[in-house]
Amino acid sequence: MCGIVGYIGKRNATPIIVEGIKRLEYRGYDSSGIAILDKNKQLKIFKKSGKITELERSLPSPDETYGNIGIAHTRWATHGEPTTVNAHPHTGCFGKIAVVHNGIIENHKILQKKLEAEGHKFISETDTEVLAHLIEHFLIKGNEFSLAVREALQLVEGTFGIAVINNEEPNKMIAARRGSPLILGIGKDEFFVTSDVAAIIIHTKRVIYLEDNEIVVINHKNFEITTLDNKYVEAKVSEVDWDVSSIDKGEYKHFMLKEIFEQPTSVGNAFRGRLMENLSTVRLGGLNMSGEELRSIKKIQIIACGTSWHAGLIGKYVIENTARIPVDVEYASEYRYRNPIISENTLVISISQSGETADTLAALREAKSKGARILGITNVVGSTIARETDGGVYIHAGTEIGVASTKAFTSQITILMMMGVLLGRVRNLPPTFGSSFIKELRLIPQKIQSILDKNDEIKKIAKTIKDSKNALYLGRGSNYPVALEGALKLKEISYIHAEGYPAAEMKHGPIALIDENMPVIAIAPDDAIYEKIISNLQEVKARNGRLIVIATEGDTSIKDICESVIYIPQTLHTLQPLLTVIPLQLLAYHVANLRGLDVDQPRNLAKSVTVE
Ligand code: AGP
């Protein structure tokens, strides 16, 4: 996905929009650009491949980039390589307008052919450039600016979050959305548009979340929101409930490390106010479901992507154990095209940190179209997924900037574990389970902290595997999804190939990979299947595999078979993933850092994938 920022007001737009896209760089960072209308209302476009610092270095003097209206974009390439020519903003043949876009125009080839037949010349490989020529096409036909934008967007198939400026209407900025987030920020005699509140929160906390197929026309004094077919929309102003300090690295070298260390707090925020000791259960108000409706659920389908999918898999283990409800966990990208079977009393749960992941959004819309009740577990208030579900739970992890998800993951599984207790307690789960769960969950933040205190020890272990080419992560039960998550963390930020596997399954193939060069990171806490995983680890040891084991404090015998051990505190089996994942997050972080890689903005990745 990409990042968009626009400004219109009395101040110089350029520093505002450049600083804004820098705060969105986690959304995509392979090229960037700005367009401003200068003092003479001339349209000026500056763009550059590479990080935003490259763009900043390429900008001319502040005097030449001064303007009271401007738009900016940081790109995660979908169509066309991350070159300067393909960077946004894009313009048409006459250089009158500039467009920035987040999303995919699926019918861009057909539209381009038609426009080329009319004489339009294209210079980039992007789908977005079509928008610029299309708007220009309607302007040339004499349409007023906002009508030209409206007409153009009516022809578009696919998704967009756009901002447009026009040197023939130098006091107007237009923005519109379908499928990609777009937010209007309301300042004092100034307005902002952005893909993410993080870009503008230092200027205003008053925002309006545009809905799909809505367009906003903004001038220096006010704004008007309508649907694309020109029906009036009443503006709903929201107040952002967090501040800029939460999007600052502070003393940490990377956002990812800061977010790993925030987990005692973020997990605490996930359960705060939701534990009901007196009834040995939990309260998840946002579900909008009565006890009877909760009892009527016969099947659960969890849809998600990436780390959120791993969280869903842990949710399966917990909910099936506590509530005895069958749970399927589906990759959203597969689910959406598989004509899923939604039976009576099926509950669909969509899990998404950003609340904007295109595959997850499409999958929940497919489930909704089949009559399923949809819940969302999201982190971003007002996100599209949060707004399209019938109810849900915010995980309250705070803004997560690091592309590799960490604190959102532990907050997601905290919510899923609580959901397991809630669904169980309206069925046959005994109050004793609920009470011990609540009592132990309250201790988890400090137990996470005790693992974080081993950061230096874990960094030493990271040094021993930082030059590996491959790694294998093993776990059993609800620690199998933790093994998957640990492997994903390592590969997405250190670029070392890593696989997560159910420990016993290793015998059926991957054991062929084991040799003295293969680090095997195994999760072997003290639980009912401890002896089973130990025999799997013996099989690794017998083939000279290098064992790094996550074990429970006090388990000294494990040292006989492993090269390194990272101890975690004892906890309830249900809650174990909240602890076993922490060393894996730190291990991946240190390996990537030791390899000198960009931990917060790994190559090819983006924080939320709002395209298919
Ligand atoms: C997580 O480390 C990854 N960056 C990625 O897999 C992510 O979890 C996935 O894209 C889903 O994002 P979402 O939770 O915002 O929907």
Both tokens assigned to 303 = 């849809």
Name the nearest CA neighbour of 381 among 371, 373, 365, 392: 392
354 Cβ below 6 A of ligand 1: yes
Q: Report the alpha-carbon angle 94-100-102, nearest 5.
A: 145
CA dist 99 and 135 (Å) reads 9
Pick from 1, 351, 411, 609 the residue to mutate for probing ligand 1's pocket: most ligand atoms within 8 Å of its CB. Answer: 609
**DSSP letter string, 425-483:** HTTT--HHHHHHHHHHHTTHHHHHHHHHTTHHHHHHHHHHHTT-SEEEEEE-GGGHHHH
pLDDT score of 606 = 75
**Least trusted range by pLDDT, from 256-260, 415-419, 560-564:** 560-564
Is the pLDDT assigned to residue 54 strictly greater than 80? yes
CA dist 87 and 76 (Å) reads 9
Q: What is the 3-state secondary structure (H, E, C) of 522-539?
A: EEECCCCCHHHHHHHHHH
Q: Which helix (H) or strand (E) covers residue 177, if one does?
A: strand 173-178
Instruction: Supply the mean pLDDT for the chain.
Output: 94
In the residue annotation, 39 being an active-site residue is answered as no
Mean pLDDT calculated for residue range 8-29? 89
Is the pLDDT assigned to residue 1 strictly greater than 70? no
308 Cβ below 6 A of ligand 1: yes
Q: Which atom of ligand 1 is nearest to the CA of 360?
A: 16
pLDDT score of 473 = 98
Which residues have CB under 8 Å from 184's CB, separation 6+? Answer: 175, 191, 192, 193, 207, 208, 210, 216, 218, 223, 225
pLDDT digits (tens, 9 = 90+) for 486-508: 999 999 999 999 999 999 999 89
Burial class (CB in 10 A: 0-12, 13-18, 19+), 521: buried
Is the pLDDT assigned to residue 83 strictly greater than 90? no
Q: Residue 422: pLDDT band by 50, 70, 90 thresholds? A: very high
Q: How far is the CA of 509 from the centre of ligand 1 (A)?
A: 28
Interaxial angle between packed helices 431-441 and 407-425, expressed in degrees from 0 to 180 and rounded to the nearest 10: 160
Both tokens assigned to 468 = 């590996």
pLDDT digits (tens, 9 = 90+) for 135-160: 999 999 999 999 999 999 999 998 89
588 Cβ below 6 A of ligand 1: no
Q: How far is the CA of 1 from the centre of ligand 1 (A)?
A: 12
332 Cβ below 6 A of ligand 1: no
Mean pLDDT calculated for residue range 58-84? 89
Is the pLDDT assigned to residue 28 strictly greater than 70? no
383 Cβ below 6 A of ligand 1: no
pLDDT digits (tens, 9 = 90+) for 374-409: 999 999 887 889 989 999 999 999 889 899 999 999
Q: How far is the CA of 150 from the centre of ligand 1 (A)?
A: 33
pLDDT score of 414 = 98
**Catalytic-role residue among 2, 47, 48, 562:** 2
Contact 167, 182 (CB under 8 A): no
Count of beta carbons in the 10 Å neighbourhood of residue 433:
18
Q: How far is the CA of 501 from the centre of ligand 1 (A)?
A: 20
380 Cβ below 6 A of ligand 1: no
**Catalytic-role residue among 22, 47, 172, 607:** 607
Is the pLDDT assigned to residue 78 strictly greater than 90? no
**Backbone angle region of 122, left / alpha / beta, with phi > 0 → left and psi within -120 to 50 → alpha:** beta
pLDDT score of 578 = 98
CA dist 366 and 344 (Å) reads 16
CA nearest ligand 1 atom 7, residue: 306
Count of beta carbons in the 10 Å neighbourhood of residue 577:
32
Is the pLDDT assigned to residue 17 strictly greater than 90? yes
Going by their DSSP bridges, the two strands 470-475 and 183-186 should be labelled as unpaired
Q: Which atom of ligand 1 is nearest to the CA of 357?
A: 16
CA nearest ligand 1 atom 6, residue: 306
360 Cβ below 6 A of ligand 1: yes
Name the nearest CA neighbour of 501 among 490, 487, 489: 487
Q: How far is the CA of 538 from the centre of ligand 1 (A)?
A: 34
Residue carrying structure tokens 């505190």: 569
pLDDT score of 137 = 95
Q: How far is the CA of 607 from the centre of ligand 1 (A)?
A: 7
> pLDDT over 70 for what percent of the chain?
99
Q: How far is the CA of 88 from the centre of ligand 1 (A)?
A: 25
Q: Residue 574: pLDDT band by 50, 70, 90 thresholds? A: very high
Q: Residue 27: pLDDT band by 50, 70, 90 thresholds? A: low
Question: Does residue 80 or residue 193 have the better pLDDT?
Answer: 193
Question: Model-level pTM?
Answer: 0.81
CA dist 302 and 565 (Å) reads 33
Is the pLDDT assigned to residue 244 strictly greater than 80? no
In the residue annotation, 2 being an active-site residue is answered as yes
Is the pLDDT assigned to residue 71 strictly greater than 90? yes
Q: How far is the CA of 609 from the centre of ligand 1 (A)?
A: 8
Residue carrying structure tokens 């991957």: 510
Q: Which atom of ligand 1 is nearest to the CA of 405?
A: 2
Both tokens assigned to 32 = 């960037």
608 Cβ below 6 A of ligand 1: yes
Both tokens assigned to 370 = 């089949």
378 Cβ below 6 A of ligand 1: no
Contact 282, 348 (CB under 8 A): no
**Least trusted range by pLDDT, from 138-147, 246-255, 366-375, 416-425:** 246-255
Which residues have CB under 8 Å from 41's CB, separation 6+? Answer: 167, 170
357 Cβ below 6 A of ligand 1: yes
405 Cβ below 6 A of ligand 1: yes
Contact 592, 603 (CB under 8 A): no
Q: What is the DSSP letter of 377?
A: E
Q: Residue 607: pLDDT band by 50, 70, 90 thresholds? A: confident
Mean pLDDT calculated for residue range 428-439? 97
Q: How far is the CA of 354 from the centre of ligand 1 (A)?
A: 8
DSSP E strands, 179-273: 183-186, 191-194, 206-209, 214-218, 223-227, 238-239
pLDDT score of 39 = 82
609 Cβ below 6 A of ligand 1: yes
- Can the peptide bond before residue 326 be classed as cis, meaning omega within 30 degrees of 0? no
Q: Which atom of ligand 1 is nearest to the CA of 412?
A: 14
Pick from 254, 255, 308, 364 the residue to mutate for probing ligand 1's pocket: most ligand atoms within 8 Å of its CB. Answer: 308
CA nearest ligand 1 atom 16, residue: 352
